Structure 1
């Protein structure tokens, strides 16, 4: 056959494999990674996950806020939404462990690898090491994603690195990474993908709240569990009928709640109109405990949420206040967050709430002894919500905890000035860290004879559907590994 006969009408050589086969020679076998077989487009679920990781890395965004909007933007069905959620949260959650593995598979410092490439590698590593995705699919889909959104050159690099990662399973990688390491904190950091300082803080927190340090592995594992969507129907306003029809299940710990491990709750009509809200059961419990706590003699008309943004607890408190003819003042010092509070409260009749924009540290001096019930949901490290905010574990620092604990003291002291005699205050953090919980309460209450601690554990049990056994020395601490809630801390304080 002439050279011209071996070329097609575009001047390209014809497939010589077939000719060899006809001539008795073995035809060439093309691998799955050959150019003809490579994907050049992004699977929608993986594209959503990648964009979530990029928003977190590039813009310091929060995954739990970005992911729902991306799911709706790309119109993912329930199956793909579940895949995107697992990919996003899983890659963010285990970032520390995956980065250590990636570092063993590249020929440079990972700090020199472009962040977009790192995000793609983390997605691929999660599929290879922690999901039931076939290895060839994990590699090919991730490389196809990279080829579509990053470029052909980076895609080839990602392909090579992922094939090295896939040469061992997660257990084998952990054995290799932990060789020669005897420090239990360092070993736990590798196995459970938590920064070492957080592991130390959580060990201290377990002991401080009446648990044992032996529970640390269970707690860290619970932080890594797939998030469960919690709903609350605002009392007197919302219904969970539509949620139950959408395969949500009744919440076992608190009335008017529901749980789901998949799907987009934003598709529910009640969620869209605000009468049903996405809210962790722990947050529901502490709000209901404040609303049910016994007051001293006097009225029960004026309620305050001192740190209301973004408005979840404020909405539940306002609905409970409305049932009693009371009014909630929701205070938030930042205007853009105050707007979120107004939106959260929009389902509650307007005569039962108002939004103020003030520095909470000045509130007590401006309105002394005015309020019957006060919620101080203080800004905190968020170490109790790491399963819902997987990126937070890699952002927080010990120095931030120290700064926040000082702010927490100032807010609590201000709120106590605003509390009337006989009134009840709930000091709440979504963190079990001793520096943000017991230490704050002890410091602010030390030497005061006009203040008494109510039994927060009993208060939680009074509003829960089953005993929680969360109390310790009159304060209460919820735990992900025990109660399947965020690690909410509660102290109930009554002014004599």
Structure 2
């Protein structure tokens, strides 16, 4: 008779139950969910910098991509994830509020950012739900902790139960206010939706275009490049996949990859700049002056009154160099003035100089001095929401009025600093009438020596033949949904002789 092994019993004599034999996968669960995917980690770092440090996504993202050595594919994923989560923040937060058992403001900010990243993957990216959940929980375990990761997992499972369209339908059910519905559906603050509706009408367009405009704000923009005239070229960018721009000469569209890796970009002879910004700078440089305003030496004097961080100033300086003119770039903040100098280094030094000081005092030092002046006025940036997705959540309605005072002061100073016969370009990256037409009208109303030039015709002349067709307008407004540019406003004001 074969002997049986002695069964183990507890102290009461009861037979102990044997534990079930566990099967293990090649990778233990703890190891699977603690790993932070580098692309998602980059997106998370961007959101943390934006929400925790008031950083700008477009400045943080390239540095984080390089730090984690992402390849082209992962860099593209990280970019789409970071920017998409920021653009969709309003809608995602409304959805998350339905899935969390406490007010969102009581969540740890890092947890909320992780939830936003997970929500964007689940609702707006071609990422399988199981991958979005597992990777987001793994990210949370790696950078936040095991405790919060359980909450994130539970909340995102609730989010994944419905599509984005179904969530929007739930959130807007019974809502009859078109502005509130649009704010939820297109992830814009209500006040910005109202402001953009008003802007369309003020600039002669139909309010029915608001849906197309809001959608354009949420589209991922293609990177616009400009080769500085006479100094740079686009050959390297083309070899890297860029295509020639369709609106303005010396421009290109760069759809994917890190442009900072291009030698020409590092050298500063090729720059990242929206086509709308290129157009307004060229329009000022090319508009005809009254010849009697130019000094006997024939050298035109140009001024960029609000030059930081130096994008338009550098293009203007390159154009000035071509035309034998000189440029003074003014910037009040010393650290931004240094950025302007660095940007201008690509242009021969005899063409430009930098002044650090308040633009509103420049007419005291340089009365009736300049032939061409660019007033790229500080504004709400409502025209660049697609490129700066975080700004829609930072701006407040009161900013419009506060900035309006500064805008009027700067433009008033500019018309004092321009020579009789010279031209001032008033530019904002906002279509809001309180920052555009109202500012120009107020300054013109107080003087009888100013006249509006045809800004639409000037933009047409500065663009590639037949590409823009802005029309003949006293002021001109570009639009993301019409021109695929930022919503740049341009007024050209000549001081009469």
Q: TM-score range by the shorter chain?
A: over 0.9
CA shift, 1:469, in A, is 3.7
CA shift, 1:73, in A, is 1.2
Of 255, 259, 272, the match for 2:253: 259
Does the aligned pair in 2 maintain the 1:209–1:472 contact within 8 Å? no
CA shift, 1:468, in A, is 2.3
- Aligned residue for 1:493, secondary structure, equals strand
Q: Aligned pair 1:112/2:111, yes or no?
A: no
CA shift, 1:106, in A, is 0.7
- Aligned residue for 2:229, secondary structure, equals coil
Q: Deviations over 1:152-201 (max 9, x none)?
A: 00011100000000000001101111112110000000100000000000
Q: Aligned pair 1:494/2:488, yes or no?
A: no
CA shift, 1:473, in A, is 4.1
CA shift, 1:273, in A, is 0.5
Matches within 5 A, 1:303-342: 303-342=302-341
Does the aligned pair in 2 maintain the 1:232–1:276 contact within 8 Å? yes
Does the aligned pair in 1 maintain the 2:304–2:328 contact within 8 Å? yes
Does the aligned pair in 2 maintain the 1:46–1:84 contact within 8 Å? yes
Does the aligned pair in 2 maintain the 1:238–1:270 contact within 8 Å? yes
In the alignment, the residues of structure 1 paired with residue 42 and residue 473 of structure 2 have an alpha-carbon distance, to the nearest angstrom, of 46
Map of 1:9 onto structure 2: none
- Aligned residue for 2:420, secondary structure, equals strand
In the alignment, the residues of structure 2 paired with residue 470 and residue 215 of structure 1 have an alpha-carbon distance, to the nearest angstrom, of 17
TM-score (norm 1): 0.93
- Aligned residue for 1:16, secondary structure, equals coil
CA shift, 1:36, in A, is 5.2
Ranges in structure 2 where 5+ consecutive residues have no aligned partner: 9-17
CA shift, 1:448, in A, is 2.2
- Aligned residue for 1:424, secondary structure, equals strand
Q: Deviations over 1:212-232 (max 9, x none)?
A: 100000000000001210100
CA shift, 1:16, in A, is 1.5
- Aligned residue for 1:368, secondary structure, equals coil
In the alignment, the residues of structure 1 paired with residue 6 and residue 92 of structure 2 have an alpha-carbon distance, to the nearest angstrom, of 54
In the alignment, the residues of structure 2 paired with residue 183 and residue 2 of structure 1 have an alpha-carbon distance, to the nearest angstrom, of 78
Q: Deviations over 1:357-395 (max 9, x none)?
A: 111111112211000000000000000000000000000
Does the aligned pair in 1 maintain the 2:457–2:473 contact within 8 Å? no
Q: Deviations over 1:47-106 (max 9, x none)?
A: 000000000010000101111111111111110110010011000001010000000001
Matches within 5 A, 1:466-485: 466-471=466-471, 473-485=473-485
Q: Aligned pair 1:200/2:199, yes or no?
A: no
Q: Label 1:296 to 1:148 Cα distance change in 2 as closer, same or farther (>3 A).
A: same
- Aligned residue for 2:102, secondary structure, equals coil
Matches within 5 A, 1:400-419: 400-419=399-418
Does the aligned pair in 2 maintain the 1:452–1:495 contact within 8 Å? yes
CA shift, 1:37, in A, is 7.1
In the alignment, the residues of structure 1 paired with residue 472 and residue 386 of structure 2 have an alpha-carbon distance, to the nearest angstrom, of 24
Q: Aligned pair 1:64/2:69, yes or no?
A: no
Map of 1:231 onto structure 2: 225
In the alignment, the residues of structure 2 paired with residue 279 and residue 51 of structure 1 have an alpha-carbon distance, to the nearest angstrom, of 25
- Aligned residue for 2:353, secondary structure, equals strand
- Aligned residue for 1:148, secondary structure, equals helix
User: Matched residue pairs, number?
Assistant: 476
- Aligned residue for 2:434, secondary structure, equals helix
Does the aligned pair in 1 maintain the 2:301–2:371 contact within 8 Å? yes
Ranges in structure 1 where 5+ consecutive residues have no aligned partner: 5-12, 19-28
CA shift, 1:17, in A, is 5.0
Does the aligned pair in 2 maintain the 1:370–1:419 contact within 8 Å? yes
In the alignment, the residues of structure 2 paired with residue 472 and residue 459 of structure 1 have an alpha-carbon distance, to the nearest angstrom, of 9
CA shift, 1:316, in A, is 0.2
Q: Label 1:339 to 1:14 Cα distance change in 2 as closer, same or farther (>3 A).
A: farther
Does the aligned pair in 2 maintain the 1:471–1:477 contact within 8 Å? no
- Aligned residue for 1:291, secondary structure, equals helix
Q: Label 1:220 to 1:490 Cα distance change in 2 as closer, same or farther (>3 A).
A: same
- Aligned residue for 1:436, secondary structure, equals coil
Matches within 5 A, 1:45-444: 45-297=39-291, 298-299=293-294, 300-444=299-443
In the alignment, the residues of structure 1 paired with residue 6 and residue 322 of structure 2 have an alpha-carbon distance, to the nearest angstrom, of 92
CA shift, 1:41, in A, is 1.2
- Aligned residue for 1:39, secondary structure, equals helix
Q: Label 1:58 to 1:2 Cα distance change in 2 as closer, same or farther (>3 A).
A: farther
Does the aligned pair in 1 maintain the 2:382–2:431 contact within 8 Å? yes
In the alignment, the residues of structure 2 paired with residue 356 and residue 271 of structure 1 have an alpha-carbon distance, to the nearest angstrom, of 25
Give the CA RMSD over aligned residues: 1.7
Matches within 5 A, 1:33-48: 35=29, 38-48=32-42
